[in-house]
Structure 1
């Protein structure tokens, strides 16, 4: 019981905080304040068209375009932009759309950086490149406050780096990114562990952006900006308002039906469904789930599944009461009989969500994530919260008439 109370309390705080954030006086006293993340169709964002160019070093080919799309996808995702739209147009163009209030100039700068990393000796020989990297992670020294990017080379890169440092003790090895010298340190001793550092950053955010570029890899071909502009939400304000009204009316209709048909258990179910909604919204906020139209559809679908679970439970409860069992015995027996059906239906839907997530892309994966979260939350509220509330009502002794439970 204590666990349920804690979960419900935290979910309530996290879910209502974004609404109260508009009030500065209330906002500063709320520990879990976050903004809901809206997708392109609800909020708009930035639209960028990239065009690949031939150079003497690299010609544009179908394979190069696939590599370019993969690199852009990794960069955008690691920069923390959720639900991006990245698609190829023609033979040489990529369309990139990012949701949110993003500075178009900054977005373009980060997306199209070449990010070609080199380690060069004093005689101009390149000994290691970004292709030899295994990982790049930004960090901050807690003692000195120095911001840096920690580099880890793959086995081949580690061997090259060890040989280069051993052969250049007392000499400079420059660290160069996109032709710009970041550092030119003197090698003090051979470095056999395959690790290096880049320092001199002003902020952790700057180091993070560089680490993302290095992890995602260099662009395989030269890219020029063909178009960049801010875009509005794909769903107009009028349509969005109508959708909100339809959602409110639909939820109210469900709540009223549950009370009229199932009476006291229906009232309990309504309260459990409100708790379910708070838990789901709190998870969305905590995970920064991007809310798009497919995501909202998944939330409503999972809400319907949560209602269905309560319907199965209450029908079994009514059957047990009609056999003459006591209220507490009927509640336990009803839940026991309903559990298998609820578990099977939720498990199959969750499997479908996992398949959509791993095989789908873009909005399909967003739909799968929100649906999966809703399924898990509906199982928790139906099996735990609803049962706990019904036992509280039964223990209170205020309502003993079986007719109040729909029997």
Structure 2
């Protein structure tokens, strides 16, 4: 047992050295962070003398992975948003109208003329001039139903069709509403994540909370208002035919029309057709640019389907105005001078450079499918984060010092060996966190402090077993061998059950709970490794050199 082969010794010391080297950049956090930011900036936009100096502050051949600091340590913004999923029902119903209209026109002989009626946002009402053909109309519209492809909606269709007098009514089925809710939340999560990632923030926490809420925590951002400005805009871009202009905000736009204000012309309103020709969902790219007069603008490009619709419409309506609408405000309404077959164009308006850049970010990330209502918002300043870091440092130092003193006084030379292994253990934790890009939070620091205590538990079990074996008049080598052998099962049992708990906390927890689970889980792995392998190797090396006749633990 105490004859450790050379290859095992090389592997053990190699893993320790690798972990400590990976952890080393955290001792020079500011310098390495500046180096990493400079590398990203150079890759994105070219090298400048300032960026070159920041990059040179840390050698490229050394590891540059850092433990990311969480919101409670770095400061930043916290938002809890509720997704208004009901908004999507109206868009979904409105999107059904062209299909329903075409299906009923094919049954014109039976149903006569059709006209869409005013209704609740989540239902579509169509009046038939020949109610006696209602059965054929219902059958035709039911043919548009599609099956629901979710586990809970198996066997259900997406719409329900019924008759009420001379009106045909189409609504979304309950299974489709549930599926739509889930899709809306998932899409909102992805788009919020894209928008936050676009501005290069580090390790944001963006996750679903409850049925229709999203938790957003972004370390390093200036304020909650800044974060809301980035993600709170729906950024729904649409292109509408222009019916007319007015200065009367109370003017009725007419059936199937809408009245939207002009963004840069106070008191001016546009009457537009309600159904857009093209939507922002068909955009593939948007970049900040400058127009021919040198004013900030945004270039955009459609996908093939959007380009085809955009090209066809502009070819058929040369000389007519065409409104570009963002979140129910008309950005501009240029006249179509010629057909635009390429599917690309430019959005101009009263933008600043920053506004055109922000708009391009929002359009690239995509439109939120529904409005976000912010229920909770907090700005955590960097001073609070600095206080948390300082408090965490004090807690770690006090715990560490107390454990080191206790082990040295209780077990003498063996305690010193355990202390060296404990220092290596903490270094390995930070090395692993740097390797996986983990985020350290205040609960994560608590996990490290707990790990320090648990690492000592394993050494205490081993040393106490060695003491018992020494009382049986066994030699030092045999006592150490049996001590490790008999303590192994207790060490593994205790750590495996705790590791299972850490895994469950990580899978079911969120935010701070996950931060605690990550450091606890990694700490258990490193504690077992240092207690079973590192301390034993150090003791074996000591025995080989000193060859004592007796030992005292």
TM range (shorter): 0.5 to 0.7
Task: Kindly state the Cα deviation for residue 288 of structure 1 after the two structures are TM-superposed.
Answer: 2.1
Separation in 1, partners of 2:474, 2:496: 31
Alpha-carbon distance between aligned partners in 2 of 1:210 and 1:305, rounded to the nearest angstrom: 48
Number of aligned pairs? 346
Secondary structure at 2:27 match in 1: helix
Question: Which of residues 18, 21, 24 is equivalent to 1:16?
Answer: 24
1:376 equivalent to 2:525? Answer yes
Equivalent of residue 34 in structure 1, options 52, 65, 68: 65
1:193-272 to structure 2, matched below 5 A, reads 213=365, 219-223=368-372, 231-233=380-382, 235=384, 237-238=386-387, 240-272=389-421
Which structure 2 residue ranges, 5 or more long, are not aligned? Answer: 1-8, 32-53, 92-120, 123-176, 239-275, 285-303, 313-325, 332-339, 344-357
Out of 268-277 and 94-103, give the one that drifted further.
Answer: 94-103
Aligned to 2:217: 97
Tell me which residue corresponds to 1:197: none
2:508 to 354, 359, 363: 359
Alignment correspondent of 2:13: 5
Residue 414 (structure 2) pairs with residue 293 (structure 1): no
Structure-1 separation of matches of 2:56 and 2:416: 31
Matched, 1:84 2:92: no
Residues 77, 325 of structure 1: alpha-carbon distance in 2 compared, 3 angstrom cutoff: farther
- 1 CA distance for matches of 2:204 and 2:516? 11
Select the residue among 302, 306, 311 that pairs with 2:460. Answer: 311
**DSSP-derived class of the 1:402 partner:** coil
Would you say the 8 A contact 1:76–1:84 is kept in 2? Answer: no
Q: Contact 2:189/2:214 (CA < 8 Å) preserved in 1?
A: no
Structure 1 residue 378, shift from structure 2 partner: 0.8
Residue 400, structure 1, aligned to residue 548, structure 2: yes
User: Which protein has the larger Cα radius of gyration, Structure 1 or Structure 2?
Assistant: 2
Change in 2 beyond 3 A, CA 1:51/1:315: closer
C-alpha distance in 2 between matches for 1:43 and 1:225: 23
Over 3 Å counting, the alpha-carbon distance change for 1:239 and 1:107 in structure 2 is closer
Deviations 1:49-71 (A, max 9, x none): 767678694579x9788766544
1:37 and 1:288 in contact (8 A); partners too: yes
How far, CA to CA, are the matches of 1:340 and 1:269 in structure 2? 19
SS of the counterpart of 1:400? coil
* CA displacement at 1:113 relative to structure 2: 6.5
- What is the distance in 2 between the residues matched to 1:26 and 1:307? 41
2:425 touches 2:526 (CA, 8 Å); kept in 1? yes
Displacement of 1:32 in angstroms is: 1.1
C-alpha spacing 1:72/1:43, structure 2 compared with 1 (3 Å): farther
Unaligned runs of 5+ in 1: 119-123, 131-135, 137-160, 173-177, 187-205
Quick check: 261-270 or 243-252, which moved more?
A: 243-252
Q: 1:70-107: per-residue Cα shift (whole Å, max 9, x none)?
A: 44444556737536276889x99866331124697885
- Secondary structure at the aligned position of 1:249 is classed as helix
Q: Please name the residue that 2:41 is paired with.
A: none
In structure 2, do the counterparts of structure 1 residues 21 and 300 end up closer, same or farther at CA, with 3 Å as the change threshold? Answer: closer
Structure with the bigger RCO (C-alpha within 8 Å, sep 6+) is: 1
Distance, in Å, in 2 between the alignment partners of 1:117 and 1:330 is 76
Residue in structure 1 matching 2:497, options 348, 362, 383: 348
- Give the Cα separation in 2 of the matches to 1:270 and 1:225: 49
Contact 2:388 2:442 in 1 (8 A): no
Shift of 1:251: 0.7
Q: Distance in 1 between matches of 2:388 and 2:29?
A: 25
Deviates more, 1:349-358 or 1:30-39: 30-39
